[in-house]
Chains A and B, each alone.
Chain A
Amino acid sequence: MKRKSLLYRLTFALLIGILIMPPQPAQAQWTVFDPAQYTLQVSKRIEEANRWIQHYTNLANQLTTLGGVLKAADDLVAKQKKAITTMSNIGRTVRASLQLERQLRTLVTTRLRAFKSIDDRLRKGIFDPEADMRDFEEYLRDSIGRTSQDTIANLERLARMDNQLERMRVELANAHEGLAKAEGKKMAAEEELRAEGDIPESERCAQCIASIIEKISNADLLIAHYTKEIARLDNEIKERVQKYNIQMQERVKFGEQVQSMNEAWSRFNNSLDELQRALSKVN
């Protein structure tokens, strides 16, 4: 057998190699220019540039016009709201503290003055219930921390302290007693007169009859006197009570003021709490 040549063998191997090699994709040999695509890309770039120009124009407007500056300031203020609230709370706290300090000072001074005044008079041996009452009223008027209910109790205390009212009541009781006595005497005398009339004429006592008639007459005078006295005292007591009613209304008003002050106190405490919370957040 004839031996094949080397060239034959190489040519055969090359053919087999070409047959078993995977196919390769086709490649262009020059750059392709697409005018439509190029136009689209350029317009996009221009649009973007316009947007940037608009943005910077707006920014320039914001910083160069009054409206813009104010808006910017508003934003700034809004951003600092928490800080502002904190400052407001601090301000309120300081103001309320000063107000309370003033009220406490007044309260203590008034109490001391009222008690000192009463004490001075007692030491000097001057018994002046009216002045004591005035001092007591002043003390009540300027005291804080009392409710409306306490005000009514104050009225009762005041009435107990009012010697004049007490005197009127005692006088009224005495007048009623006097009137009852006079009426009793008159009734007894009238009975005696009737009894004297039943006695035979020869045994009648002229002196006794005269005495009885005088008794009746005196009793009538006393009845008239006490009736007038009772009317006067009743009227005075009514006026006095009316005065207390007015005072009571004033006390109620004062009680309301106290209540509003208590509310202010609670608001102040709330502000203080809020302030503390804000400060703790800042820290």
Chain B
Amino acid sequence: MRPRPVLRCGLLLFIAGSAFFVAGQERRREEKGDAQAADSKSLAASDQIEVKEDRFSGVTTVKLKPQVILDKPDHRLTIEVTAKLGEKKIYDHQKDEIRAIVNFESQSKTPVNYGDREFHFMVDGAPLNLGKVDIEVDPYAGRYNKLQPGFKIRETFLKIFDRSALELFSKANRVETRLGPIEFVLDQSLSALLREYSNRVLAQHKIVKERKP
């Protein structure tokens, strides 16, 4: 016995409606998950920046804990920024100076080609050239357990962010970077973290400057 056409249409409508309902529920769940992740990231941002003040010397250290900026299976690059504020200044022209030391650590499974070793940032389309980096291989990384599992080479280099660089990062939304031939865009959460860190350093410098005669 063949089903009637009306019944057939009803059945099709029911199936299509169920499919849409399930898809909607999935999307809502995903959105909720994303929002929760964003919240947790913003909460994590405040945990990633550490401000310490030495009561004796009056020096305030603002530190951004190591953050992974490039995460590939065979190459991982991390950044760590430290700014010391309120150190003794002799001359007037030094009082407005800020220097944040940016330590980079590269871990890889095979030797990395860094090309011309020129390190560039592009912050919201504005270029920031940090010049050539002096990359040093750590010969005792394996011996002193500094290597992450599966990685064989540890290299380090550092650069300094001055006030203008920090001011640039303090408004950053999209940060792109290039080291020789290696080019990548920083994650949104990491850009926000750099932005927050820069703002924190600039604000702290202002506080320290006003405090010191």
Contacts and interface: CB of A to CB of B under 8 A. Distances in A.
Contacts of A237: 91, 93
A195 B92 CA distance: 43
Contacts of A173: 160, 162
B158 interface: yes
B158 A234 contact: no
B70 to A, nearest CB: 21
Contacts, number: 40
B197 to A, nearest CB: 17
Given A188-B156, A208-B140, 5 more contacts: A177-B158, A180-B158, A181-B158, A188-B138, A241-B93
Contacts of B162: 173
Q: Is the interface of A mostly helix, strand, loop or mixed?
A: helix
Contacts of B152: none
Contacts of A195: 144-145
A177 B131 CA distance: 12
B98 to A, nearest CB: 11
Interface residues on A, range: 10 to 19
A176 B158 contact: no
Interface residues on B, range: 10 to 19
Interface in B89-121: 90-94, 99, 101, 103
Interface in A173-220: 173, 176-177, 180-181, 184, 188, 191-192, 195-196, 205, 208, 212
Contacts of B158: 177, 180-181, 184
B201 to A, nearest CB: 16
A185 to B, nearest CB: 8
B34 interface: no
A192 B134 contact: no
B72 interface: no
A73 to B, nearest CB: 68
B166 to A, nearest CB: 14
